Structure formats: structure tokens, C-alpha cells
Amino acid sequence: MIISVASGKGGTGKTSVAVNMALSVGTVQLIDCDVEAPNAHLLLHPKLRKVQPVYTAIPLVDEALCSHCGECSKFCQYNAIFTSPQKVLVFPELCHSCGGCALVCPENAISWEKYRIGTLKFGSIGNLALVYGELEVGRPLAVPVIKVVKQHITKSKTVILDSPPGASCPFVETVKGSDFCVLVTEPTPFGLHDLKIAVYVLRKIMVPFGVIINRASVGDKKVYDYCKEENIRILMEVPYERKIAELYSQGVPFSLEMPEWTEKFQTLYTDIRKLVEK
């Protein structure tokens, strides 16, 4: 079973939920897909066992063959190639590696070269396996790194995916293919606003979901009203509690120091499994 943990709004506590659920369930694989700012490892302190680069392919133009006709530039919707009468310029950070430029080139002057966009890291803590990606600084190409990270899903295990915040392409790339998505929100106007967007996207891509309300004892009741109106299941509430905040600030998953929460996350996992198997 693949469970994705997402939020819409950043800072709601999705990584904390993902990490605590993974630790509570036991033999699982946790994959941090927030490649622009991965932080699950900051709570888990894993022993790294492997590090490997992530590459994408970018056009390599053979100027000896190129007639500077400009067909590649006309085709590229991302403006990753500029053609002048004397030279062709490639902008790697704009390229989406679709291959279209090579298809339309009448001179077959375009081949491909590797372009590093990130790093993949593998670690473990006890029987918990962790995989996470890190996007290279200045590379606006999160989705290709997420795709590579997800290639390392171990299908024989329960997999928990920690999604990036927001509801754009990295979020969609992470949650698609999940058996269930846990949306972590907070009872504030911003939390409700972004929850609505995330719910809209998940319904469009047909991924079943439920909601966890973090910092449940602050804010207002509008998130609860919205979930009731939309018939959205509230899976769990996590209170706004000083001890939880202190443990988080120290980089300690709160379920390790508060055993009652281990049981609650185990129950959460069981409830999700029942919903998936229906």
C-alpha cells in the first residue's frame, strides 16, 4: 500500500505526520518527495548507505551539422533553445527533456548530454528505510527528481510518501498512483484555503483521501464545517501541545517520547488500510 502525506499549505506538519506514522507502523519505506527542501532525515537522523546523482538529458547541438533553420526554437514551448544565424544557445534550466527539438531537426544535428539536477540518498534507522532526493541549487526541475525518487519504491512494503507543499506539479507527481492520501491541515483561514485546492486536485486525479487536523486546539471551526459539508473523513486530530512542539524543535519525533501517540498512529494506519480495502 502506498500512502502519500500532503498538505496544500506549507508548515502544517505533514513531515511530522509522515515520520511519526512511519516509525509507529514499523517495517515501512519512507520516501521524502519534497526534493526542494527535504527534512524527514532531520527528524530520523538515518545512517546513509548510498548516495547517487540524478541526471536529466539536455540537447547537445552539433554546430557542424546545424543549418540554423530555427525549427528547434520554434518547436520548444519552454524557450530552452535560441537560434541565431551564427549560433544555437541551449538553456538547460528551462529544458523539460521532451525530445521534440531532436525530432523536428532536419539535419539530425541534436543529440543528448547528461545534466545533473539533483542527488538521491538512501538511509535507514532500524527497520525503517528512507529514500529522499535533493534538488541542485538553482535547478527549477523538481518533478524529474521526484520521478527518479519514486522509481525506488519497494512494492513489497508499505510505502509512505512525504509530499511537497502546495498543489502544483510536484504535489501531483508525488500523490498520483497512491492508494490513499492523507491531507494535513490546520484550523486557520490559510489552512482551509489551501486544503480546498488540494481536495479539488485529488478529486480530479481520483486519489482517495482523508484529513488530519494539526494544532487542532487553535483557530476556528471552519475546517471542520468544510469537511462535514464535503463529506470528508477527519482521520485524526493532533492538539497544539507544548511538549510536541518542543520535541519537534529538538528534531525528535513526538511518538518516540509519547507512546500513546504510537498507538494512535498505528490505529490511523489500520483505519487507512480498511478504507483502501473497501
Query: Using one digit for the tens of pLDDT, what is the confidence trace for 17-35?
Result: 999 999 999 889 999 999 9
| CB half-sphere exposure, 28, CA atoms < 13 A | 22
**Shared-domain flag, residues 256 and 126:** yes
Average pLDDT over residues 194-219: 94
Report pLDDT for 38: 94
Domain final residue, candidates 116, 132, 151:
116
Looking at the fold, whether 137 and 247 belong to one and the same domain comes out as yes
Question: Does 219 score more than 90 pLDDT?
Answer: no
Residues 184 and 124 in one domain: yes
- Cβ atoms within 10 A of the Cβ of 276, count? 14
Q: Residues 100, 217: one domain?
A: no
Using 50, 70 and 90 to split pLDDT, how confident is the model at 236? very high
The percent of residues above 90 in pLDDT, for the chain, comes to 90
pLDDT value for 114: 94
What's the CATH code of the domain at 79?
3.30.70.20
Q: Are residues 261 and 178 part of one domain? A: yes
- Binned at pLDDT 50, 70 and 90, residue 63 comes out as very high
Are 168 and 242 in the same domain?
A: yes
Q: What's the mean pLDDT in 58-66?
A: 95
pLDDT for 140 beyond 90? no
d(CA 43, CA 93): 31
CA 96/CA 117 separation, integer angstroms:
12
List, for residues 82-119, the tens digit of each pLDDT value: 999 999 999 998 999 999 999 999 999 999 999 999 99
The residues with which 3 forms a beta bridge, in sequence order, are 160, 180
Segment 174-201 mean pLDDT: 95
The partner residues of 254 in beta bridges, in order of sequence, read: none
pLDDT of residue 138: 85
Is 212 in the same domain as 273?
Answer: yes
pLDDT of residue 146: 96
Q: Is 22 helix (H, G, I), strand (E, B) or coil?
A: helix
Q: Has residue 141 got a pLDDT over 90? A: no
Total length of the chain: 278
Give per-residue pLDDT as tens, 158-175: 999 999 998 999 999 999
Whether residue 91 sits in one domain with residue 27:
no
Instruction: Check whether residue 238 and residue 106 sit in a common domain.
Output: no
Looking at the structure, tell me whether residues 89 and 201 fall in a common domain.
no
Number of structural domains the chain divides into: 2
Q: Looking at 71, 91, 116, which one is the last position of a domain?
A: 116
Q: Are residues 49 and 62 in the same domain?
A: no
pLDDT at 8: 81
Looking at the structure, tell me whether residues 73 and 149 fall in a common domain.
no
- Give the residue from 94, 116, 138 where a domain finishes: 116
Is a pLDDT exceeding 90 seen at residue 155? no
**Would the pLDDT of 235 be above 90?**
yes
Q: What is the pLDDT of residue 269?
A: 95
Burial of residue 84 (number of CB atoms within 10 Å: 0-12, 13-18, 19+): exposed
**In this predicted model, what pLDDT tens digit does every residue of 116-138 receive, in sequence order?**
999 999 999 988 999 999 999 98
- The domain that holds 143 is classified in CATH as 3.40.50.300
Domain that holds residue 207: 2-54+120-277
pLDDT of amino acid 90: 95
Residue 57 CA to residue 52 CA, distance in Å, equals: 16
Q: Helix (H, G, I), strand (E, B), or coil: what is residue 69?
A: coil
Q: What is the pLDDT of residue 64?
A: 92
